[in-house]
């Protein structure tokens, strides 16, 4: 029988045994000898102390090949001759999954691969752990026994601890040459360009500052566990105090309201599970620094295989905390050295947390380049609030040296490394043009959103955090067409109660003043699973248990949110929008829950909203054939063009092979838009669009031509879209588009560009 870790049986290997092994390990590391000699001693020590018949260490070579570097118990002639690809055999399986594995019958595992040159056929049981450094697999450490036996937790944890030592040997190039550890073979002195993902708009030029917060851990094994615990607890106190100071710092005043994110960051710093795992590692014999790093290595390896964007983004927060805690253990307060920060600084990092970004001098920081991250990560949200361009591009750290000249193009997702003089001149021209555009946008901010032939268009904002709300006044938008209520739920460790939600919604309404807000009820599930809500894995999460489906299956959750919205609105107008409605019956069920809350509050004497509007998102195509039944039951509709297009064309918008295969400006999509406009007009139901189409000037022009008069978009899009519509003659556009809807084109984009150019429309 093959099993995973069996922690209830097996030969005794307790904490005392682990500490004794670690003490011997410390002697080996302190002694003389090459990296190979030390590794040979380590596998011999493990085999003896753990009473294993075999202990072997495989090291990752170039091309993701695992080479047997040392063994006690297998044929010595196999050393440096036996090689396995990642994923090949049990050793390759461990490397591929970056997780420990313990088997009481290794040959029965589906990944088992026999290599006769090793002479391992007599050995039945096997336990192995990945050798991790920086979240990357550098090798695999395994033990084997002839007899069938389980492995206790202390054995696996001890192997993980020893694997940290092996990782240091690899990192210090004592086992594998530095050229193999680095994946870069490119010259570092030539100009280069990286293509990536635009995550915060804008242009910036400056000198590269490499953000490498990790400290080199010199001592892994502790001599006094209690003393290490005291050091750890003291560092934790100072770190918490420093984060509190960061929260209250006057420099944050210009961010609008960033406390949602930073308070969440402070909450992560008190995570009991994270802290208890570190303390357990210290009690097992590690120094405080080594314990912090081991827990982070394990966390990163486990979470790096997950596809859920929210969970992966939270990993960055934990890495930020790990680095910050290591700094405090070393007696430092920050990884940012003000003395080495140039006046025009482009920060380059693998990943960052929001607090790490704020360690740097904002007056000098011009741009941010990340190897990992998404536009919804906390550091990107804060960067956008600071108007810092951000690009995510792989392999940046291998291509860039400290103080290299960089250009970050946050509009197109490009980074120019050591740009030639002509590129720098072109950049200067682009910056000048951008400044002129921004000046133009500022000049029209308070002018009416009216087309050249007098058609009024309502421009509204999409928001999801309190830090977005200052843009409502700054942009000149007429209101908030979509407030995503799920983001505050996603940055919490537990479901917020009615009181917390009421306070939040009340603050949002206070900030918005007289301008209208449409609150979308909780839209989670799919790729936005809450950390405290488990729905199980789904093969097609975008088509699965999400949004209003969760709310109707757990009516208490939806009722609590509706109750909080009603309490916050008391005496003020309230607009509630339900997402992911696929049939009129679902809207009716959601409306019944709202009516129950209205009745409940009336019985308690709570003042109702001065005006209550109820609407739904048009995202699921099935509603397009139910419009006659739907429209009499709603006060407004809003098109979620991102999901609607995804479902209309059966094209996963998260899949790079399909996300750009179809165009939003196709005849089919625009026919749907025109039909929605016609049906809503017949029933006198207001219609808006709050997807990405609304924020792209050419797409917005097409929507206006199809009949839309309300568009909701991200704050940076307001200026460009308003500039476009004020130069647009709607009558001419409608006449031109009337002959396009029934065409067989893949896309109408080029034809619409031609119209804009011929008619002087500023897109």
Which regions of 321-425 does DSSP assign to beta strands (E)?
Answer: 345-349, 365-370, 390-392, 405-409, 414-417
* All residues at 6 or more sequence positions from 330 whose CB lies less than 8 Å from its CB, including other chains: 215, 289
> 3-state class of 355 per DSSP?
helix
Structure tokens at 569: 């609105």
- Closest to 641 measured CA to CA, from 683, 670, 604: 670
**Alpha helices, DSSP H, located in 634-693:** 641-648, 667-683
**Known catalytic residue: 97?**
no
- Closest to 562 measured CA to CA, from 498, 478, 518: 498
Q: Which residues are registered as beta bridge partners of 128?
A: 101, 142
* Annotated catalytic residue within 380, 463, 680, 690: 690
**Known catalytic residue: 554?**
no
Structure tokens at 593: 């829950």
Phi, psi of 459 (to 5 degrees): -105, 125
Alpha carbon 133 to its chain centroid, in Å, reads 21
Question: Are 235 and 215 in contact, with CB atoms under 8 Å apart?
Answer: no
Strands 611-618 and 192-195, how do they pair? unpaired
User: Exposed, middle or buried by CB within 10 Å (0-12, 13-18, 19+), for 403?
Assistant: middle
Sign of the C-alpha dihedral, residues 703, 708, 713, 718? positive
**Residues 144, 444: Cα–Cα separation, whole Å:** 73
Structure tokens at 319: 């890495």
**Alpha helices, DSSP H, located in 184-283:** 225-248, 259-268, 272-283
**Residues 419, 398: Cα–Cα separation, whole Å:** 17
* Annotated catalytic residue within 211, 328, 378, 471: 378
For 131, 158, 215, 306, 314, the CA distances from 372, given in Å and listed in that order, are 22, 31, 20, 14, 12
Strands 365-370 and 390-392, how do they pair? parallel
Phi, psi of 325 (to 5 degrees): -65, -40
**Residues 524, 490: Cα–Cα separation, whole Å:** 9
Q: Which residues are registered as beta bridge partners of 70?
A: 57
Sheet (strand 65-72) strand order: 83-85, 65-72, 54-61, 136-145, 125-133, 101-103
* All residues at 6 or more sequence positions from 230 whose CB lies less than 8 Å from its CB, including other chains: none
356 CB neighbour count, 10 Å cutoff: 25
Task: Give catalytic residues, as residue numbers.
Answer: 378, 690
């Amino acid at each position: 029988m093959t099993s995973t870790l069996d922690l209830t049986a097996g030969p005794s290997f307790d904490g005392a045994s682990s500490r004794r092994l670690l003490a011997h390990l410390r002697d080996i590391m302190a002694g003389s000898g090459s990296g190979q000699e030390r590794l040979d001693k380590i596998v011999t020590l493990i085999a003896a102390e753990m009473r294993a018949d075999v202990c072997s260490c495989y090291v990752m070579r170039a091309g993701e090949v695992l080479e047997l570097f040392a063994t006690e118990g297998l044929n010595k002639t196999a050393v440096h001759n036996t090689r396995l690809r990642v994923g090949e055999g049990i050793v390759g399986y461990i490397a591929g999954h970056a997780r420990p594995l313990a088997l009481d019958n290794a040959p029965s595992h589906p990944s088992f691969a026999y290599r006769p040159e090793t002479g391992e056929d007599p050995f039945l049981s096997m336990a192995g752990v990945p050798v991790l450094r920086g979240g990357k697999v550098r090798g695999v450490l395994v033990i084997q026994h002839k007899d069938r036996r389980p492995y206790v937790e202390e054995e696996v944890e001890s192997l993980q601890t020893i694997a940290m030592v092996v990782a240091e040997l690899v990192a210090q190039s004592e086992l594998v040459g530095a050229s193999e550890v680095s994946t870069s073979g490119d010259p570092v002195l030539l100009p280069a360009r990286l293509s990536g993902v635009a995550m915060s708009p804008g242009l910036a030029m400056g000198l590269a500052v490499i953000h490498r917060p990790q400290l080199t851990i010199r001592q892994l094994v502790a001599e006094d566990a209690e003393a290490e615990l005291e050091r750890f607890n003291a560092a934790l106190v100072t770190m918490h105090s420093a984060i509190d100071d960061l929260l209250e710092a006057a420099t944050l005043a210009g961010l609008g309201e960033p406390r949602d994110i930073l308070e969440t960051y402070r909450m992560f710093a008190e995570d009991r599970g994270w802290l208890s795992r570190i303390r357990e590692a210290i009690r097992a014999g590690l120094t405080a620094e080594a314990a912090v790093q081991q827990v982070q290595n394990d966390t990163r390896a486990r979470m790096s295989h997950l596809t859920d964007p929210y969970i992966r983004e939270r990993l960055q927060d934990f890495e930020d905390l790990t680095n910050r805690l290591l700094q405090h253990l070393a007696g430092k307060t920050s990884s940012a050295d003000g003395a080495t920060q140039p006046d025009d600084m482009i920060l380059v990092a693998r990943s960052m947390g929001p607090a790490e970004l704020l360690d740097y001098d904002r007056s000098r920081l011009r741009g941010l380049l990340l190897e990992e991250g998404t536009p919804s990560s906390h550091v990107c949200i804060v960067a956008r609030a600071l108007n810092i361009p951000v690009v995510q591009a792989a392999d940046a750290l291998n291509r860039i040296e400290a103080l290299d000249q960089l250009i970050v193009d946050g509009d197109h997702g490009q980074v120019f490394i050591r740009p030639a003089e002509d590129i720098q001149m072109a950049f200067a021209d682009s910056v000048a043009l951008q400044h002129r555009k921004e000046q133009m946008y500022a000049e029209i901010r308070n002018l009416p959103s009216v087309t050249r032939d007098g058609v009024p268009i309502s421009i509204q904002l999409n928001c999801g955090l309190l830090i977005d709300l200052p843009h409502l006044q700054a942009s000149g938008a007429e209101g908030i067409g979509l407030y995503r209520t799920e983001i505050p739920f996603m940055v919490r460790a537990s479901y917020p109660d009615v009181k917390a939600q009421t306070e939040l919604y009340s603050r949002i309404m206070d900030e918005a003043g007289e301008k209208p807000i449409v609150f979308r009820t909780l839209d989670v599930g799919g790729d936005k699973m809450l950390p405290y809500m488990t729905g199980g894995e789904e093969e097609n999460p975008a088509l699965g248990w999400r949004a209003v489906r969760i709310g109707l299956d757990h009516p208490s959750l939806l009722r609590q949110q509706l109750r909080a919205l009603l309490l916050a609105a008391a005496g003020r107008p309230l607009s509630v929008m339900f997402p992911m409605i696929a049939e009129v019956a679902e809207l009716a069920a959601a409306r019944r829950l709202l009516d129950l809350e209205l009745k409940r509050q009336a019985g308690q004497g709570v003042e109702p909203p001065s005006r209550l509007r109820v609407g739904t998102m048009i995202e699921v195509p099935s509603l397009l054939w139910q419009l006659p039944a739907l429209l009499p039951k709603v006060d407004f509709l809003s098109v979620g063009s991102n999901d609607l297009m995804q479902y209309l064309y059966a094209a996963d918008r998260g899949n790079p092979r399909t996300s750009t295969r179809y165009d939003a400006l196709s005849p089919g999509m625009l026919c749907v838009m025109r039909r929605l406009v016609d049906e809503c007009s017949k029933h006198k139901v207001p219609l808006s669009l709050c997807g990405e189409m609304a924020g792209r000037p050419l797409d917005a022009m097409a929507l206006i031509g199809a009949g839309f008069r309300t568009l909701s978009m991200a704050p940076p899009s307001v200026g460009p879209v308003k500039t476009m519509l004020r130069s647009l003659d709607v009558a001419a556009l409608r006449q031109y588009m009337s002959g396009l809807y029934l065409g067989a084109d893949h896309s109408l984009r080029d034809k619409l560009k031609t119209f804009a150019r011929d008619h002087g429309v500023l897109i």
